[in-house]
Structure 1
Amino acid sequence: MKEQYEVKRLDKPVDWTVEVPGSKSMTNRALLMAALSDGQVKLEGVLFSDDSRHFLESLVSLGFTVDINEPEKTVTVLGCGGNIPKKQAVINVGSAGTAARFLTAMLGFSDGEYTIEASEQMKKRPMQELFTLLTGVGAKITYLEMEGHLPVQICGRRNPKADSDQTQTDGKPLQLSLDISKSTQFLSALLLISPMIQQGLDIHITSEKTDGSYIRITRKMLADAGVEVKYDRKNYRVAPKAVYQKNHYQIEPDVSAACYFYAAAAITGGRALVGHVQKDNSQGDMKFLDVLAQMGCTVTEKADGIEVAGPAEGALKGISVDMNDFSDQALTLAAIAPFCNSDVHITHIGHIRGQECDRLHAMAEELTKRGITCTEEPDAITIKPGIPSPGIVSTYEDHRVAMSFALLGLKTDGIIIDNPSCCRKTFENYFDLLDKLS
């Protein structure tokens, strides 16, 4: 792909019917669950991207038998009942936050010794809460660069060299405390590896935030596989001897990816239908459809997917919205905010400063460079209506910055996306698809 991509300005409303890749969140959860199952498990509708390939390569490096069929979008994993075939290995999680958190938790509760490597981007992202918890239950963590961050060497708590006494459980569940204010992936990781903890698991959440859309995806997938997670608004409990009992996963389309096409319909006054997205999809970004409806769009569920129709002439209403629970779409809303008829105020998104980049600052910086007035706060942003000026959008090696800010160019001449190939992380043919549609 070229180092820069100039977005084609549209001279009429979009009229699009598109298919998007499978959900990254569900793909990587299903891969871990398959590896911890006992026997062969097949995944269909799998997302193939940088993140999922790093997850797959890590499983192979750990000795799992994995059959990959990219054209058919399927993966078959031979699970080993909570055991890891290789007792010593090196894995590289790249920039994948899910792979980093999920696999670290699995290795921390294993009986092996491993090295976890990562990209420069992932090395900057928070991991300390998970490392502290794993150390507390007996795993040994050796930091290879910066303390509290990847890369690390990890000796699992079931390894004889670890500090954990596995015999002293007194018949009680393993008691853990966890702060999830920086990332709910820490909690999802522990719930996903609960079949490795035969005594059962009781997690007390110490942060103000105790739940979230991605945690609900995790709980639903576990329930569908026969593992019930009880939640009382502060504690999560998994009964002893949990076992995954599912040998087939159908991955939903990635609603996060679908939202870029829905947003295009919103700002152009056109229509976009994304195939196989339905209202019973479990992903948190479905809430973005409610936001678009409040802004004046019409959202219709059809047999082949959900369709969004923008208001005539793209006359979107401004909005004030708490996006804490579906913050991946904060960038999308920020990118279409200049085309609204009043201010857009996005709140409770301070945690996105610690993602692939400081996303809150990135949206303020890039909109300001394009002549749009913004007010950046520690946990929020206000964006005023305006006409974006032409220019280059920096993407900070962040796929969501690249995909979101391409929307500016559908209504403005001369918008150029720098480093469009960063979309390989989750949607490697995004700009190819945009070319075909335009």
Structure 2
Amino acid sequence: MADVVVPGSKSETNRLLVLAAAADGRTVLHRPLVADDTEACARALAALGYDIDITSSERWTVTGRPEGPAATEASVNTRDGATGARFLPGLTAAGHGVYHFDASEQMRRRPITPLLDALRTIGADIEGGTLPYTLRANGLAGGRLVVDAGVSSQYLTALLLAGPLTRTGLTLHVTQLVSAPYIDITLKLMRLFGARVERAGDVFRIEPGGYTSPGEVTVEPDASTASYFLAAAAISPGRSVTVPGLGSDSAQGDLGFARVLADMGAAVDIQARSVTVTGPDRLRGVTADLHHLSDTMPTLAAIAPLATGPVRITNVANTRVKECDRLEACAAGLRALGVPVATGEDWIEIQPAQPTAARIETQRDHRIAMAFSVLDLRVPGAVELDDPGCVIKTCPGFHGLLADLVARWEKEPVS
């Protein structure tokens, strides 16, 4: 059995950065994710005038400013990061000043207009409907909003995070929601910072009053990143992987990927603070609805050819508006490897096959690169990535971690 120490959660790290910036007091984040997305969010906060120290890889510190950004005018670039691009406008709009937001070409193509429209409704003055745009901040009034989070749960998270910073509070009625477990993460962390937020079905009520720092917070391992190492075990008969620090106590929905592997025949043991997967002789085919854990869709799609029957992944239309059209990127990569694939608007079905050598176009998407790297474990040398370095977005050390896992397995007898 091999333990894999997975880097910190991107979802937690970026939410915590925003909360710490808004809170009264100084916050220390232990084991934050140190990667391009989180560094982009941290540096954006620094550009806004927040006192933030990310020089240590083990602990980041943020001194909050409940009154809003210290800079009265700033240019903010969130690079490829969708969480930073979507979470920071609400924080900024609650302050006072003029702020120019931009991001990479990849992020400019991703949707943000519904969020900007929602912020306008509660008092933000925003010139432009897509990145780049200019925000003239003079506080947020609050009120009632109808929110469609069917494309991205990050719209809802952004508004929830802004709620305590409004003058009168915020009531949100949600009509559609994808990746719902990410909202559980948001609510858990908001309450950790003293927010008063209630949920009644599809209605969220957030009281005004701001945030108070809890002092110190330890970031959980990233469940989405863990999926690649759990999948590596699942396709390796008799081999096991344990991810410490991530288990049933976690609010991260992508831990549910381990249960999908169990449905396919892997032995799965989920404890309060760990998850272990052991590979069977061969995985079974499965139909899996990944609507609420869609970041794991590429992981499952990449290992699907090794199953004994078809693997059908459903309800993942939102994966078409991620860093790339992930559904089509997975289909194209599998077809290049000689795997029969069919797709629809919100589904992909992969047939059992022996992959042949091919070059995979990652489209600068970290999840495509990491998913197909796992498949290469069973067909060594068959998978060549056009851009292996794109993993820096969420797991800069990914290729080293995977190589180290294989090296340790080679020294151990198969169970």
TM range (shorter): over 0.9
Q: Which residue of 1 aligns with 2:113?
A: 128
Q: Is the 8 A contact 2:113 2:130 kept in 1?
A: yes
State the Cα deviation string for residues 37-84 of structure 1 (Å, max 9, x = none): 01111111101100011111111111111122434x111111011421
Distance 1:242 1:22 in 2: 26
Q: Which residue of 2 aligns with 1:434?
A: 402
Q: Which residue of 1 aligns with 2:370?
A: 403
What pairs with 1:326-365 in structure 2 (closer than 5 Å)? 326-365=293-332
Query: Secondary structure in 2 aligned to 1:300?
Result: strand
State the Cα deviation string for residues 114-145 of structure 1 (Å, max 9, x = none): 011100100000001011112223322223xx
Q: Which residue of 1 aligns with 2:65?
A: 80
C-alpha change, 1:198 and 1:307, in structure 2 (3 Å) is same
Distance 1:49 1:25 in 2: 12
The alignment yields a C-alpha RMSD, in angstroms, of: 1.7
Query: Secondary structure in 2 aligned to 1:76?
Result: strand
State the Cα deviation string for residues 261-292 of structure 1 (Å, max 9, x = none): 11011111111112222221111101111111
Structure 2 residue 268 is matched with structure 1 residue 283: no
Cα offset for 1:434? Answer: 2.0
Query: Secondary structure in 2 aligned to 1:89?
Result: strand
- Say which is worse superposed, 74-83 or 389-398, in terms of deviation: 74-83
Cα offset for 1:87? Answer: 1.2
Cα offset for 1:365? Answer: 1.0
C-alpha change, 1:198 and 1:293, in structure 2 (3 Å) is same
Structure 2 residue 5 is matched with structure 1 residue 24: no
Distance 1:210 1:407 in 2: 26
Q: Which residue of 1 aligns with 2:231?
A: 263
Q: Is the 8 A contact 2:248 2:271 kept in 1?
A: no
Structure 2 residue 326 is matched with structure 1 residue 325: no
Q: Is the 8 A contact 1:128 1:149 kept in 2?
A: yes
Cα offset for 1:215? Answer: 0.8
* Ranges of 4+ aligned residues in structure 1 off by more than 6 Å: none
Query: Secondary structure in 2 aligned to 1:431?
Result: helix
Q: Which residue of 1 aligns with 2:130?
A: 149
Cα offset for 1:211? Answer: 7.2
C-alpha change, 1:304 and 1:39, in structure 2 (3 Å) is closer
Q: Is the 8 A contact 1:398 1:422 kept in 2?
A: yes
C-alpha change, 1:210 and 1:289, in structure 2 (3 Å) is closer
Q: Is the 8 A contact 2:229 2:402 kept in 1?
A: no
Structure 2 residue 205 is matched with structure 1 residue 224: no
Q: Is the 8 A contact 1:37 1:82 kept in 2?
A: no
What pairs with 1:5-404 in structure 2 (closer than 5 Å)? 15-71=1-57, 73-143=58-128, 148-158=129-139, 174-205=143-174, 207-209=175-177, 212-269=180-237, 270-301=239-270, 305-311=274-280, 313=281, 315-404=282-371
Cα offset for 1:210? Answer: 7.3
Distance 2:348 2:379 in 1: 22
C-alpha change, 1:187 and 1:76, in structure 2 (3 Å) is same
For structure 2, the 5+ residue unaligned runs are: 407-415
1:23 is aligned with what amino acid? Answer: S
Distance 1:51 1:334 in 2: 24
Q: Is the 8 A contact 2:29 2:216 kept in 1?
A: yes
Q: Is the 8 A contact 1:36 1:193 kept in 2?
A: no
Cα offset for 1:111? Answer: 1.6
Cα offset for 1:198? Answer: 3.2
Distance 2:56 2:376 in 1: 32
Cα offset for 1:417? Answer: 1.4
Q: Is the 8 A contact 1:35 1:82 kept in 2?
A: no
- Say which is worse superposed, 236-245 or 87-96, in terms of deviation: 236-245
- Say which is worse superposed, 91-100 or 427-436, in terms of deviation: 427-436
- TM normalised by structure 2 equals 0.93
Q: Is the 8 A contact 1:195 1:243 kept in 2?
A: yes
Q: Is the 8 A contact 2:151 2:178 kept in 1?
A: no
Q: Is the 8 A contact 1:393 1:415 kept in 2?
A: yes
Distance 1:259 1:324 in 2: 16
Q: Is the 8 A contact 2:341 2:348 kept in 1?
A: yes
Q: Is the 8 A contact 2:152 2:179 kept in 1?
A: no
- TM normalised by structure 1 equals 0.89
Cα offset for 1:181? Answer: 1.1
- Higher RCO (Cα < 8 Å, 6 or more apart): 1
Query: Secondary structure in 2 aligned to 1:156?
Result: strand
Query: Secondary structure in 2 aligned to 1:176?
Result: strand
Q: Is the 8 A contact 1:82 1:195 kept in 2?
A: no
Query: Secondary structure in 2 aligned to 1:80?
Result: coil
Distance 1:98 1:303 in 2: 27
Distance 1:20 1:152 in 2: 36
Distance 1:208 1:33 in 2: 25
C-alpha change, 1:375 and 1:211, in structure 2 (3 Å) is closer
Q: Is the 8 A contact 1:210 1:234 kept in 2?
A: no
Distance 1:93 1:186 in 2: 16
Q: Is the 8 A contact 2:23 2:212 kept in 1?
A: yes
Cα offset for 1:113? Answer: 0.6
Cα offset for 1:242? Answer: 4.2
1:200 is aligned with what amino acid? Answer: G
